[in-house]
Amino acid sequence: MAEAIEQEIVIDAPLDVVWRTVTTPEEISRWFAHDVDVAIEPGARGTVTFRETPTGPRTFNVTVESVEPQRSWAYRWNHPDGAEATDSNSTFVQFTLSAEGGRTRLRVVETGVEQTEWSVAEQDSYAADHNSGWTTIIGRLAELFAGERVAS
């Protein structure tokens, strides 16, 4: 059975800069998905598209669940086109930020794989893919901040 997928990183940038980077679609497309079409506000629906996956381009439906400015935001994703996002057809992703001096701790947790109606094999495959994927994505975010001087 799949368990929570968790990643954490401390970024050498102030919280407001990291918040902007993880909540502005133009910024999100620099480190997460190639195309981001969703407003980061509760109830917003949209899509994120990854152009380069092992099986070709992949678009995920996204429904924003909550936003606490400068602290956290969460969404459900991977539900079918035209369907409401539910526990049985999507997973829940939460980004949580906390200031640590002039740095920012970012924690990303994806949960709910085991609650979906997907087969055990599909759940296990999804969890393995997303464990690897989040490692890559958080790595890209780290590289983005390592390669830039950020200003608040």
Asked if residue 57 is part of any domain, the answer here is no
Q: What span, in angstroms and rounded, lies between the C-alpha atoms of 51 and 24?
A: 19
Token digits of residue 69: 């400015």
CB atoms within 10 A of CB 3: 10
CATH code for position 117 = 3.30.530.20
Q: What is the pLDDT of residue 150?
A: 44
Q: What is the pLDDT of residue 2?
A: 56
**45-50 and 72-77 as β-strands: parallel, antiparallel, unpaired?**
unpaired
Measured over the CA atoms of residue 118, residue 113, residue 24 and residue 40, the dihedral's sign is: positive
| Structural domain count of the chain | 1
User: pTM for the full model?
Assistant: 0.89
**Domain region containing 127:** 5-32+69-146
Asked if residue 37 is part of any domain, the answer here is no
Asked if residue 140 is part of any domain, the answer here is yes
pLDDT averaged over consecutive 10-residue blocks of the chain (152 residues)? 81 94 93 92 94 80 96 94 91 96 94 91 89 89 73 41
Asked if residue 16 is part of any domain, the answer here is yes
Q: What is the pLDDT of residue 3?
A: 72
